Structure formats: structure tokens, C-alpha cells
Chains A and B, each alone.
Chain A
Amino acid sequence: MRLNKVSGFFMAFTIAMSLTGLTYAHWSDNIKIEGKLEMAHIRITIISYKALTSKEVEKYSEIDTVLSEDGHLMTITCTNLKPCWFVWIGLVTQNQGSLPANVKPPEYIFEGPDGFHDYFETEEYFYGPYPENTGFGNLEVWGKVRIDPDGPLRPDGTVTLTDENPPPFPTDPGEKTVIWIWIHCEMAMPPDAQGKTVTLYVRIVDDMAV
């Protein structure tokens, strides 16, 4: 008898609670806000390159250039260097990201005997930006550029280094830039450099320009 009373009370309580829950659920509601966000990316990539030097240097020195798959790192391996050796490295870069990016001076990493990098000097010259649809042949400081002791020459013989655009400067997505880098071996190169190989890495640096 007592058990029946307890179970009866329990059943009544359960029924009451379920009814209350049903009522609450029915009289409460919600609306929602859905947000989706896709992030941009910045990427300045080397899309073409050249390594030019004088005929005299070509006679004794081999210059090998390799571009990384992501187009961010150029490796230049040079042999038989001696004082006054030089090379002009030309790069065409393009902003292949989805954001405006600043073109900045590249980073150099020298790999060779300790202290050798102190005997190299570098200078960079920047041109552009050029619109996305500008072909390589139409880049004024790229197609048919010749080398002269004064620097890269246009086909008309004028030196290209006169109308450069000092960095940093912004480039919109798709725009191209030409960079000429002069790498030169100083006169004071020590005698123990003889027979050594130097590898130089040129890394493109990009930065958001928003």
C-alpha cells in the first residue's frame, strides 16, 4: 500500500514536470546570426629573372641561378670570384596576393667562408609598379636590357637607373615590379678567398599595404 502511494506520487510528479517542460519549450524561441569570414593573403612572387654580367666576367666565372618553387627565394651560386667581379640580378615580381602589398628591399643571405660577405656590396634599384597586363617585353627596364659598367642599359643606350622608384611603395594585386640588384666583389677581397664558392640567397620581402 505504501509502495503504491510512493509510486503514484512519483508518477504524478513526473507528469507535472514533463508538462511544465513542454510549456516552457513552446514559449521560448530564438533567432540567429551566421557569420563567415575568408581571410586575404599577401604574396609577392618572382615571376621572371635574369643574371647579367660583362663578357669579361663571363670568361672566368660561372653564375648559376635557381628560383624556389614558391617564387620567394632565388639562389645564386658563383664560382671563380675575384676582386671587381660583379653581376646584375634582374627580378620581375608580381603581387599575386589578394591585398595591396609593399615592395621592400630584399634580404640577402651569404653562405660561404666566415667573413666573406663583408667583401660584397649590393645595391637595389626598383621600377614600377606596372599594370597586371604589362608584358615582359613592354617593361621599359626589362626587355633587351644590356649590361654596361654604368649599369643595365635600355635598347636605346640610356641607363635604366635614372628613374627608379625608391622602396617601400605599394603594389595592388596583379601589379608588377622590376628590381635590379647589383652585387659586386670589393677590391679588398682577402687572398684566402681563392678557390672558394659563395652561395647567395635573395629573399623577397612583402608586407601588407592597407
Chain B
Amino acid sequence: MKSKTLGLFLCTLIAMSACGIAYAQWNDVVVVKSRMSFGTLTLRFVGTPDCSDNDDATKDTGVCVCEYTDPDTTSGGYETLMVNIVNGYPGYEADCIFTLQNVGSLPDHVIGIEIVPSMGLTVGETFLDDNGNPIGWRLDDTTTGEPQLNVYVQNSEETSLVCGVVDPGTQLSGILNVVVNDGALECHAYGFEIMIIYED
């Protein structure tokens, strides 16, 4: 009885191994290769910025220079717009026209614009367009509260850059406007940094 059970087990084992060989002989592999590339989300300054001020036609006392810096060697364009104003005075006003281009492959959606004033300045008021989006700020002296500068960043239609959508390959024109207020101090240096935040 015991040898019968052993024989049955061996037969089953042999039969199973035979089936396995057959399966291995008739099996094949189909390989599906898939290559996926992710989109890119890249907004950059392109072209040449154009700077002008309100005393060019008269004494030309104040000087405004704007240029792009931090070149993006991967996708082209520049990451920073630098605006330098020298010899400013109350009533002085400078404009800088810049161009943004979507050099990525996904639509860029501007979701925010923020200003960070330099030490000694604070945001006294935020100016909004008709849609309630920011187009500028009044920067006040931190100690005295006296208005020093007005800074505006708008698109060419004088509305906020926020909520604007830049499709791949297309451009968006913007204007930075700096106005020196009556309370601005002689021999003083002011600075600010504006972040344009975007997502897909």
C-alpha cells in the first residue's frame, strides 16, 4: 500500500514536469517598450527690455538702465530682470517694458505676484485692478510711514499679470513702472524684488 502511494506520487511528479517542459517549449515573450517624457513649465524673459523715464526730453537728470540677467542655458531666455535707477528725485518716473515667453511645453498660468521691499521699506498699500488682482504697491518708510516709491507691474493692457495664461511658444508683454514720491529721501538707496509665480 505504501509503495502504491509512492508510485502514484512519482507518476504525478513526472507528469507535471513533462507538462512544464512542454509549456517552456511553447512559451514566448512579447516586450512592449514605452517612452514617456514629461512636459516643461518654463517662463522666461526674452528679447531686450526697453527703459525710458520722464526727464529724457529735458534735463535727463535721472538715469534708468534695465537688463536681463541669469541666462537659462537649457531652455533659453533669462530668469531675472534687473532695473537700476540712478539720480532719482521726487517726481521722477521710469518705465521698463519687458517680454515674457513660455519656452516650456505646458501652458503657464500666472497665479501670483509678490513684492519684497528692501530693508527700511514696507508695503503701505497694494493697488488692484478691476478684477481684484494686484498691479502695484506703495512702499513706505518703515520708521516714518512716509510714502517713498510706487511700483507697478502690469501687462500691456494695464491689468494684472495674475490670471494670465501664456501658452507654449507665445509671449506676454509687461511694464514695470517706478514712481518716486515726494517723501523720498536724498542720497538714499532703495531696493525691491518682485516674484512672478506661475504654475501649469
Contact = CB atoms under 8 A, between A and B. Distances in A.
Interface of A: 27-42, 98-100, 172, 208, 210
Nearest to B174: A33
Contact of B186 (A28, A29, A39): A39
Interface string B81-110: 111111111111000001010000000000
B197 A28 contact: yes
Contacts of B111: 28
Sort chain B's interface into a size bin.
Answer: 35 or more
B86 A38 contact: yes
A35 B43 CA distance: 20
Given A28-B199, A210-B91, A34 B184 contact: no
Contacts of B187: 39-41
Interface in B25-72: 41-45, 55, 58-59, 61-62
Contact of B180 (A36, A39, A42, A100): A39
29 contacts: A27-B41, A27-B199, A28-B198, A29-B41, A29-B199, A31-B100, A31-B198, A32-B195, A33-B81, A35-B83, A35-B84, A35-B176, A35-B178, A36-B82, A37-B178, A37-B180, A37-B189, A38-B88, A38-B189, A39-B88, A39-B180, A39-B184, A39-B186, A39-B188, A98-B61, A99-B89, A210-B55, A210-B58, A210-B91
B87 A36 contact: no
B191 A36 contact: yes
A37 B177 CA distance: 13
Nearest to A42: B186
Interface string B163-200: 00000000000001010100011111111111111111
B151 interface: yes
Contacts of B83: 33-36
A31 B41 CA distance: 12
Given A36-B83, A37-B88, A208-B89, A31 B189 contact: no
A152 B61 CA distance: 36
B43 A31 contact: yes
B80 A40 contact: no
Given A31-B80, A32-B80, A210-B61, A37 B199 contact: no
The DSSP consensus for interface residues of chain A is: strand
Contacts of B55: 210
B195 to A, nearest CB: 5
Contact of A30 (B85, B190, B196): B196
Contacts of A35: 83-85, 151, 176, 178, 190-194
A28 B109 CA distance: 9
B146 interface: no
A182 to B, nearest CB: 33
B199 to A, nearest CB: 4
Contact of A36 (B189, B196, B199): B189
Given A31-B80, A33-B193, A33-B196, A39 B89 contact: yes
Listed from nearest, the 3 A-B pairs whose CB atoms lie closest are A33-B194, A41-B186, A28-B199
A129 B184 CA distance: 28
Given A34-B82, A42-B186, 4 more contacts: A29-B199, A37-B85, A37-B178, A100-B59
B123 to A, nearest CB: 14
A32 B186 contact: no
